[in-house]
Structure 1
Amino acid sequence: MLDAIRSIRPLDILDILIVSFIIYRIILLIRGTRAVQMLVGIALIIIIYFLSGKFELQTLHWLLKTFLGSILVVMVILFQTDIRRALTQMGKASFFSNRNVANRDIEEIVRAATYMARRRIGALLVIERGTGLRDYLDTGHRLDARLKAELLVAIFLPASPMHDGGVIIHQGRIHSSGCLLPLSQNPAIDKRYGTRHRAALGLSEETDAIVIVVSEETQEISLVQKGRITAFHDEKALTVALKTQLASRKTPPRLMRWFNTRKNPASHA
């Protein structure tokens, strides 16, 4: 054991760190997409392959062996969209990027929601959190714009060609509009809720995203999370609820603090 430890070179440690980082980035890229389910299916096929060999199920073993023999080609075909996305995004996403929504962004969201509620403008705002929403981002119109209340209102005006669907806020920016969201199939949903609320519930049941729904009929603002709808009639209460969920920050890791110190040395003088 000690001989094995002594034989480890610094380059071996570097090699392990690089591979670990690549695996970590791949997990971030596929998180929240259909690729996760496909990977689970492939893993299940591999398990069945080994079990069929152990229990001497010759036909099944031969069939799976033939399939797995061309698994690299199959994976390229199945994951071509994710591979293309990964290559185009490589180098764009910062390792130290901050995914939290700032207080000023929350104020812009609340200001837009309350403005639209008073004027009976329906809206569907999605705030991405830990679970990636790339499958839904790709269904809309790419904007990649600064988060401003005026822009959100303009998107959801009835005359706007992008008012249908939801707006997804990704890393503090308006990433896409007109995004198609999954409708909840829960039969216990109150009948007074329409398509927007069902879409918000459907997304919140599948991801950890926070969804804000503005109803043009009731002028009600609803915050949807984890399959639950909470109605707000008070701007301050909505702001507090969003800040509780989004603005609270944990103590940054030591590496992050070191990076920030090197980046802004004057602020720590």
Structure 2
Amino acid sequence: MKHLLSIEDLSSEDIHHLIWKAEAIERGDAPEFTKKIFAANIFLEPSTRTKNSFVVAERRLGLDVLDISSEDSSLTKGESLYDTVKTLYTISASLCIVRHSQNGILREIANKVEVPIINAGDGTGQHPTQCLLDLYTIHQEFGTFEGLKVAIIGDIKHSRVARSNSEALRKLGAEVYFVSKPEWQDEGIAENYVSIDEAVELADVVMLLRIQHERHDHSSEDQNYLQSYGLTKERESRMNKNSIIMHPGPFNRGVEIDSDVVDSPKSRIFKQVANGVTMRMAIISELLKEEL
């Protein structure tokens, strides 16, 4: 694996291998880089979980962190992302983690640089590390993906999480259902749309998405959204006994999910956050295994 740009680039065997590596790290068998290695985190969109998860993962592995944002880099002076990546590689970055608003831009750059690149989210395109930590969380719970019913609920059209997870889950043998307002549906991702009430009763995994106001032309979608499409306490009560609740964050309490449900026994939302560090350690160590 030279880069991690899209979940579509990974086979089911690749995914299972990364889950195995994450499990090993969880057991205390984490690799540690003994020579000085720099990882450049280039986050050009806001991020709390992904960015800081990478920082913690990198430091636990013994890497030095270069923190690049749009405000304090030469990108504000017109420098291209390609030249920024190449510059960081030239001054010894062994890995670049990039979040960008433009779909597909990282593949264009990856074809022209030697440094491994991890896609930390590109527009509405892909978010492979979020997908892999979600898969790791599901695997911890059920031990398999074959035959699992997963409902992805929310702003499907604008969600890189929905795009990545639906692809991977189907590849691994899960049945994926979708719930969305008509204007947020995307037939390019899926045709298997059901109602929220059907979804909570059939799903082993209820995966919620936030409303992506920054990708919409208006922000009046919150009104009555919870009652029409969200996970209320009443709907949670109708979920299967062993089913779980997931959300990639950031979540909006009282909008797509009832505030009390965030912290319910079925919720794995904060477990996902913890798993993000472990899975990102696995991904980094896989990409840089020749440096060990």
For Structure 1 versus Structure 2, the TM-score category normalised by the shorter chain is: under 0.3
Tell me which protein shows more helix as a share of its residues: 1
* Structure of higher RCO (CA pairs closer than 8 Å, 6+ residues apart): 2
TM-score between both structures, scaled by the size of structure 2: 0.24
TM-score between both structures, scaled by the size of structure 1: 0.26
